[in-house]
Chain A
């Protein structure tokens, strides 16, 4: 019999896989075989650890050592030193500590509990960490009403962005008339930079299937659909494997665990339209129609997929279900704030040191996430704002770092929870340009159905483009505000209703930056190239001619050993002279 004394968990999330973690695993396996240790040391591919910035990650149990940025070449030393000699390989540690990494210190992992812990492709691994116990408990000892009662009592809100009480959604679907009902898992994670749903599906697919089955039991549905983006091939593959395994184990299919309850799950691939994350668009898409929203009401709980009552929840929401069933509503509602219960997963991105996935209790101070967990702004630059809630969220300025992270507080700032994207910006980011960037995304992704979103957002984007090119007027700012407010209150679906948020929130918090673009024709962050001005500081110029020789236009005049000059009318603001000048004699403003 094998006596495994050591586990080496290699991250198999998409981020690490793209940094060769599969090769790392193969190299580790090879090394272990070479030393004949295959019966003592087991190498496992797991789900995402969340600390993507430092991937590929290898974690060694039972020593609890966390190795970062491991390359396939490191396999030799890892096995030779750590596995055989029991010596920690210090050069692969994060900082100087083998565990107890600050990134994880303040986290509380419920939805991500199994990511980085189990092999997502083995149902046995899932079962060994209490997997399918919640489903068993529900089917053997609880009525659907009791299940709904627990979820309601937990205070769990929809993690896809809206925060709508999950238990209530289930209750409405359960109460809706109809013998055919559906449960949908919304895995059409569309916010750029957000990847918590992908990580959960890649790292812990069974937890979603189990939760969907519980939802099916609670609402009276016998069919589940996971709507997942085709751009998530690894998640799709693991989910399909998980479905096959669960069916083989009798945990999905007819008469689950010998009960009267039957439930099947199918996968529906999305083609990548952002709007298909909106529930009614998603259902149109599943039905083979164009991904565009329907008027609500009727809500999906009454008239959903194929016009049948449907409960649709997001991946992260489902990921919370089993722990709630196992630990009870009170346990969950004890976490978080008065109105926002539990934890939330955030995808940290942008100008932050620790890019990755973090799960924290609701109510944590925004600044703590960015500094204690995220490690602060990259390159020692100063923090300017954080954009939360995906492309249709808002920008929160430095002055508000003390706010608590919960649904209400975020809304008050003009932003939103959204799916949990958190993009950090520093002094080099121009807020007008950022607003334009996000709006461009929603303009591209608008389905085109309703007027305010289709034409209104486009007009706002045009105004922003004008401003970033120096052609804006102060009237434009009034127009932006007016139009933005109207688009918010008139659009048909959530996409349009939130699309102006980046513009409105930056207008509110960074009005002076807009003014600078319009009145001074200047971009304070130096990001809007068309507003930049390159000039030569006469006192510094040594007349080396390097700038003139590098200029592609050319627009720099001057003789050797004499002060040079940039002809502004001709300058295309490419910045080459600025980079080439050996004496920093070129000023960029």
Chain B
């Protein structure tokens, strides 16, 4: 297909849009609603915002560049007076219906509407009138919905409906009152939302943001009577730097540890320690099921969004996920028992803070079965990578000039297997490394399972361990999970073990990570960093973690023991469809 854009000629593939061609040519067309991640099949080509309008010869109306498929010989002009004027008008119309409280908005300086207004040099909003009023939805532990800031780009809807097949969001009401929300305007807590936070990840404005738990963390840190323990998830170290002046994918573990110490945490630990612990428990459970005719496949249960998904969507399959708690919950349980005892501190005085790439972890920490006593969780407080970055900035810590420091001992050591928990395919790879060892009694010759890595929706591998072919699958995106679960339910899929993560690319693309803005290469780069960390670690397998070994020796006896079950395993709840 040949076309000209602003007098430059270009030939593009069939099916390409004007925007695609313009980008190849280096012609910039502003967009707002447009959002595509073709690598994972996400296309939000709704053409609703009308910001990218361009002039096409022979057409009376302007056409949206993002969603107009090129026809041969098209003559496009992006900068005619009426196209430029229309674009400005669209942004002005948005602003006329926007709270404009940018200075105190969560997305200040990180908002696509704000950037657009800035880019177009809008200095006044000609059109004034009524602004739509909606209530904020603060019902959940994970995210906040502020429909007044919604620009109806429908990205959240696309992520929720197409990528996650959860379908919480759709347009509700009509005309000027239209907004995007749960059916019947239900509070999000009363829906089947998995709290994966991908809607927050893709929201261009402050309409969807994370629930803010930083105040609780500050309170605990300032309270001299409290012993504050922090753990950081694997994926955090590969993304935090983006918020603090580092390149995408830079590993900032050492500086992160140093910063957390300077913020006042009494102990800085690594969730990776608990990831190794998870591997031990899950590998034991897997082998137990494999050898004793238990239910297969076993499904990993580290991802709380995925767990909530299966509870709502496939309640009849709740006997297949591993009963293991997620690593940060295992960490919390160990911290408030083993660590408390070791340090001689009353566990009621310990505050466990998790720094997670995830918003679902916020909700997970409040699940009743993960509490002890009436209202105390093993994990007291969950903050996202973005929240940690904000706290570091707020502390006035010169992050880049910090020395690299190491995690504290007792719960700070980890293997390479643990760090890849942060990337899709990593958990099952980590479990395989240990299960292989446990089944054969010898270390695996090759601990890297490349078939399970990458960005494809579902990856499969068949591994021969001890003369037995083990069929494995790893999937990210709940639409892929749904496909696998339907096959399992219908008896069409014969796997031994499956790993599922809700977010694109796994936790590195989590809902609590710095915004990846339509660019999955950011997520991929973070994943590569984690694989790099794994390669650099002399210990590649969980069972080589000496601190974990000590934990079993001193308290838990062995993986799958009664004590381990009491502390490290959980149960699931059947839930309804919507």
Dominant secondary structure of chain A at its interface with chain B: helix
Segment 330-369 of B: residues with Cβ below 8 Å from A: none
Residue of A whose beta carbon sits closest to that of B45: A295
Distance (whole angstroms) from the CB of B479 to the closest CB of chain A: 18
Q: Are A490 and B69 neighbours in the complex by a CB distance under 8 Å?
A: no
Interface of B is mostly: loop
- Asked whether any CB of chain B lies closer than 8 Å to the CB of A448, the reply is yes
Among A43-51, A318-326, A421-429, A449-457, the stretch in contact with B? A449-457
Q: B152–A449 contact, CB under 8 A?
A: yes
Interface string of B60-90 (1 = CB under 8 A from A): 1110100111000000000000100110011
**Which residue of B50, B61, B170, B176 contacts A443 across the interface (Cβ within 8 Å)?**
B176
Query: At the interface, yes or no: A516 with Cβ under 8 Å from chain B?
Result: no
A236 CB to nearest chain B CB (Å): 24
Q: Is the CB of B61 within 8 A of A490?
A: yes
- Tally of chain A residues near chain B (CB < 8 A): 32
Contact of B90 among A273, A443, A452 (CB under 8 A): A452
Contact partners of B171 in chain A: CB under 8 A: 290, 292, 447-449
Q: Mark A23-63, 1 if CB is under 8 A from B, else 0.
A: 00000000000000000000000000000000000000000
What 0/1 readout, one digit per residue, does chain A (434-451) give for beta carbons within 8 Å of chain B? 000000000111111111
Tell whether, in the assembled complex, residue A446 and residue B174 are in contact, meaning their CB atoms are under 8 Å apart: yes
Which listed segment binds B: A99-107, A171-179, A481-489, A527-535?
Answer: A481-489
Q: What string of 1s and 0s marks CB contacts (under 8 Å) between A185-198 and chain B?
A: 00000000000000
Chain B 258-302 interface residues, beta-carbon cutoff 8 Å to A = none
Which residues from 447 to 498 on chain A have a C-beta closer than 8 Å to any C-beta of chain B?
447-452, 454-456, 458-459, 462, 479, 482-483, 485-486, 488-492, 497
- Which of A290, A455, A491 contacts B97, CB < 8 Å? A455
Q: How far in angstroms is the closest Cβ of chain B from A474? A: 14
Q: How far is the CA of A447 from the CA of B154 in the complex (A)?
A: 14
- Cβ contacts under 8 Å, A443 to chain B: 175-176
Contact A459 B61 (CB under 8 A): no
In the complex, are the beta carbons of B64 and A295 less than 8 A apart?
A: yes
Most buried by B among A443, A445, A455: A455
Cβ of B178 < 8 Å from any Cβ of A?
A: yes
Query: Counting CB contacts under 8 A, is A297 at the interface?
Result: yes
Find out whether the CB atom of B177 lies under 8 angstroms from the CB atom of A448.
yes
> From residue B48, how far is it (CB to closest CB) to chain A in Å?
5
State which of B68, B93, B173, B177 has its C-beta within 8 Å of the C-beta of A459: B93
- A448–B152 contact, CB under 8 A? yes
From the candidates A273, A454, A482, A489, name the one contacting B60 in the complex (CB within 8 A).
A489
Q: Is the CB of B86 within 8 A of A449?
A: no
Are the CB atoms of A448 and B175 closer together than 8 Å? yes
B535 in contact (CB, < 8 A): no
- Asked if B214 is at the interface of the complex by the 8 Å CB criterion, the answer is no
Known: A483-B89, A486-B85, A492-B47. A454 touches B130 (CB 8 A): no
Interface flag for B129 (CB, 8 Å): yes
A480, chain B: closest CB distance, angstroms:
11
B568 within 8 A of A: no
Residues on A with beta carbons closer than 8 Å to the beta carbon of B23: none
Which of B45, B68, B171 is the most central at the interface, judged by chain A CB atoms within 10 Å of its CB? B171
Q: Which residue of B lies closest to A465 (CB)?
A: B129
Asked if B127 and A448 sit within 8 Å, CB to CB, the answer is no
By the criterion CB–CB under 8 Å, are B176 and A448 in contact?
Answer: yes
* Residue of B49, B64, B173, B175 contacting most chain A CB atoms (<10 Å): B175
Instruction: Please name the residue on chain B nearest to A292 by beta carbon.
Output: B171
Q: A483 contacts which chain B residues (CB < 8 A)?
A: 89, 127
Asked if residues A297 and B69 are in contact (CB atoms below 8 Å), the reply is: yes
B53 in the interface, Cβ–Cβ < 8 Å? yes
Task: Please tell me if B575 contacts chain A, counting CB pairs below 8 Å.
Answer: no
CA distance A456 to B53 in the complex (A): 15
Which of B45, B61, B68, B152 meets A489, CB within 8 Å?
B61
B126 at interface (Cβ–Cβ under 8 A)?
yes
Task: Given A459-B96, A490-B62, decide whether A449 and B175 contact each other with a Cβ distance below 8 A.
Answer: no
CB–CB B50/A490 < 8 A:
yes
Best-surrounded residue of B45, B51, B68, B126 (most CB of chain A within 10 A): B126
Q: Is the CB of B170 within 8 A of A451?
A: no
- B163 near A: Cβ within 8 Å? no
A462 to chain B, nearest CB (A): 4
Q: How far is the CA of A273 from the CA of B173 in the complex (A)?
A: 12
B48 touches A492 (CB 8 A): yes
Q: Please pick, from B45, B61, B90, the residue contacting A451 in the complex, using a CB distance under 8 A.
A: B90
Whether, in the assembled complex, B227 has its beta carbon less than 8 Å from a beta carbon of chain A, the answer is no
What is the CA–CA distance of A443 and B127 in the complex, to the nearest angstrom? 16
Measured in the bound complex, the distance between the Cα atoms of B178 and A273 in whole Å is 14
B86 and A451 contact, CB distance less than 8 A = no
Chain B residue nearest in CB terms to A462? B129
B94 within 8 A of A: yes
Return the contact of B86 from the options A273, A462, A490 (Cβ within 8 A).
Answer: A490
Known contacts A295-B64, A459-B127: does B173 contact A448 (CB below 8 Å)? yes
Bound CA span A222–B46, Å: 31
Q: List the A side residues contacting B93 at CB < 8 Å.
A: 451-452, 455-456, 459
Question: A161 to chain B: closest CB distance in Å?
Answer: 16
| In the complex, per-residue mask of B141-180: 1 if CB is within 8 Å of any chain A CB, else 0 | 0000000000110000000000000000011011111100
Is A447's CB under 8 angstroms from B174's CB?
yes
Q: A458 contacts B130, CB within 8 Å?
A: yes
Known contacts A451-B93, A459-B96: does B86 contact A486 (CB below 8 Å)?
yes
Task: Indicate whether A488 sits within 8 Å of B177 (C-beta atoms), given known contacts A455-B93, A459-B96.
Answer: no
Cα of A485 to Cα of B83 in the assembled complex, Å:
12
Closest to B130 in A: A462
- Contact bitstring A142-168, B, C-beta under 8 A = 1, else 0: 000000000000000000000000000
Q: Are B174 and A448 in contact (CB under 8 A)?
A: yes
Q: Which of B200-252 contact A (CB under 8 A)?
A: none
Chain A residues, CB < 8 A from B64:
295
Q: Nearest Cβ distance between residue B507 and chain A, in whole angstroms? A: 33
In contact, A447 and B175 (Cβ under 8 angstroms): yes
> Which chain B residues border A292 with CB–CB below 8 Å?
171
Contacts of B47 in A (CB 8 A): 295, 450, 492
Q: Are B178 and A449 in contact (CB under 8 A)?
A: yes
- Do A446 and B130 form a contact, CB below 8 Å, given A451-B93, A456-B93, A489-B86? no
Among B46, B68, B90, B170, point to the contact of A290 (Cβ < 8 A): B170
Beta-carbon contact of A444 and B69 below 8 Å: no
* B50 & A459 in contact (Cβ 8 Å cutoff): no
Whether the pair B176, A488 counts as a contact (CB closer than 8 A) is no
What residues of chain B lie closer than 8 Å to A445, measured between beta carbons? 174-175
A455 touches B69 (CB 8 A): no
Query: With contacts A458-B130, A462-B129 known, is A446 near B50, CB below 8 A?
Result: no
State A42–B177 Cα separation when bound (angstroms).
Answer: 55
Chain B CB within 10 A, most for which of A452, A485, A486: A486
Alpha-carbon distance between A425 and B101 when the two chains are bound, in angstroms? 46
* Neighbouring B residues of A492 by C-beta, 8 Å: 47-48, 50
- In the bound assembly, the distance between CA atoms of A534 and B319 in angstroms comes to 81
A446 touches B175 (CB 8 A): yes
CA distance A273 to B151 in the complex (A): 22
State the Cβ distance, A456 to closest chain B Cβ, in Å: 6
Q: Is the CB of B61 within 8 A of A497?
A: yes
Question: A482–B81 Cα gap in the complex (Å)?
Answer: 12
* B127 pairs with A450, CB closer than 8 A: no
Residues of B close to A451: CB separation below 8 A: 48-51, 90, 93-94, 151-152
Q: Could you write out 29 A-B pairs with CB less than 8 Å apart?
A: A273-B174, A292-B171, A295-B64, A295-B67, A443-B176, A444-B174, A445-B175, A447-B171, A447-B175, A448-B152, A448-B176, A449-B152, A449-B171, A451-B90, A451-B93, A451-B94, A451-B151, A454-B175, A455-B127, A456-B93, A459-B96, A459-B127, A485-B82, A486-B82, A486-B89, A489-B61, A490-B53, A490-B62, A492-B48
Q: Which 5 A-B pairs have the closest CB atoms?
A: A448-B178, A462-B129, A455-B93, A446-B175, A459-B127
Q: Told that A451-B90, A459-B93, A490-B90 touch, could you supply 10 new A-B pairs with CB distance under 8 A?
A: A443-B176, A445-B174, A447-B178, A448-B173, A450-B50, A488-B61, A490-B50, A490-B53, A490-B62, A490-B86
